[in-house]
Chains A and B, each alone.
Chain A
């Protein structure tokens, strides 16, 4: 058991001193990690907030379908069922003609209201209507046209087309961002594993000696893995700092919203901590994977 702890202790000690002794190489590996993680962090901030906006906007988009005057209670039930069968429909709310008229009248001032009621009385031209809430990502246009095909529907329309277009635009920005991040990450991981390979190449003498005196593969590998993890952690320091202080600053600077009150930013408090955790984990994983495989080449017995 004490040998076990000695072994673990040595992995950490050697890993730590490896970073210190090969400081320049460790730093160059760490800066590759830093660049990647910073990009990932920016992307995550953007992406999570976009998700939030999307949800916000989606709550406000509805399809409205007005009914023909001839529809009776039976028709209304049939139409309701037909609407609910359409893919992407979440919830349907019924409004009577009177409710619709009241809503319309409500938009005017006292004089206007009185005037309207006087002119129309009970003979107003409003239709009864269904208001349809859609599930996220549903295609409003498609749903509206499906609803329009149902017998007894007078007219359909959907609100927030501008919002939908914007959502689509932001989605493509996010999609493009994702590709960019993937490409940059691949590049950075390549750089990292290359630097770690260089670090290890510079030490193949060390590895050769370890092998010559009969160190097991695990005993050779793990100090390097710890070193890789430490480099990953080192590389995540700056991105974590940037994330926490940068996001808090940005949030304050923008007053908690992006452009309009319609788009509130995610509150910094637990958010930056989650982001930081993701970044630290990513740094550790990159360092671990990079060093694990870089050292493998030197551990293979070629006989």
Chain B
């Protein structure tokens, strides 16, 4: 469902962020992307969600050549992909319910459909009773759950999480992992998770892609932390 063929990315300022990446991910997979800061993890994500265009090669997602997508077609394409960030990016003035509903409202879904789905994802992320709370009233872990609920509200085929546990303590990080695994299982969402957290990667073993200085240096189907000297 997702394939990169000889993909390179050079930014306008001349920085080579990715070199000749070849990669194939199937529907329903759960994949870690690890690597040191500046190794090109975020760039890889931006190529997938259409924010950046590959300098060379083809990024194919769900049969769509993402790099060749016309600007006007990007929004529609984006609906296939949910994104979660380290810093949650919730709207402080909206309640939990409103934050999640917002993602569906801007796509002009009917109110009834929105209410039903928001309750469903709130239940899925374990925040049934927090609908009326504001983000500031929640713990970091809970806020990330809201962000995840929002990201999956429109039922994207792929969920991309860029260091979703970066701001959380180990206990909370583990809970988020369990939640992502549940979403992967129950909603059938393909999940790509960028992380620095070696403990998580070793504990919840999954296919792991290792980036270093823009090169894909390892693709371990078995998972486990990879130390490259």
A-side interface residues toward B, CB under 8 Å? 2-3, 6-7, 10, 14, 21, 205-206, 208-217, 219-220, 301, 303
Contact = CB atoms under 8 A, between A and B. Distances in A.
A181 to B, nearest CB: 38
Contact of A211 (B75, B105, B154): B75
Given A214-B76, A217-B75, A209 B108 contact: no
Interface in B43-65: 49-53
Nearest to B99: A209
B108 A220 contact: no
Nearest to B74: A301
A220 B105 CA distance: 11
Interface stretch (B22-30, B77-85, B125-133, B174-182): B77-85
A32 B10 CA distance: 45
Nearest to B111: A6
B78 A303 contact: no
Contact of B78 (A10, A21, A213): A213
B102 interface: yes
Q: Classify chain B: how many residues form its interface, as a range.
A: 20 to 34
Contacts of A2: 110
Nearest to A208: B89
Contacts of A7: 108
A213 B107 contact: yes
B106 interface: yes
A213 B105 CA distance: 10
B75 A214 contact: yes
B81 to A, nearest CB: 8
Given A213-B78, A215-B75, A219-B108, 16 more contacts: A7-B108, A10-B105, A205-B91, A209-B103, A210-B106, A213-B107, A213-B150, A213-B153, A213-B154, A214-B75, A214-B76, A214-B81, A214-B107, A216-B76, A217-B75, A303-B52
Contacts of A303: 50-53, 71
Contacts, number: 63
B93 interface: yes
Interface of A is mostly: helix
Contacts of B110: 2, 6
A214 B105 contact: no
Contacts of B106: 10, 210, 213, 215, 219-220
Contacts of B80: 214
A85 to B, nearest CB: 63
B77 A214 contact: yes
Nearest to A7: B108
6 closest cross-chain pairs (CB), A and B: A214-B78, A214-B79, A215-B106, A213-B103, A7-B108, A216-B75
Centre residue among A209, A210, A213 by max chain B CB count within 10 A: A213
Contacts of B105: 10, 14
A300 to B, nearest CB: 9
Nearest to B83: A212
Given A3-B108, A10-B105, A214 B154 contact: yes
A233 to B, nearest CB: 23
Contacts of A215: 75, 106-107
22 contacts: A3-B108, A7-B108, A10-B105, A206-B91, A209-B102, A209-B103, A211-B75, A213-B78, A213-B103, A213-B107, A213-B151, A214-B78, A214-B79, A214-B107, A216-B75, A217-B75, A219-B107, A219-B108, A220-B106, A303-B51, A303-B52, A303-B53
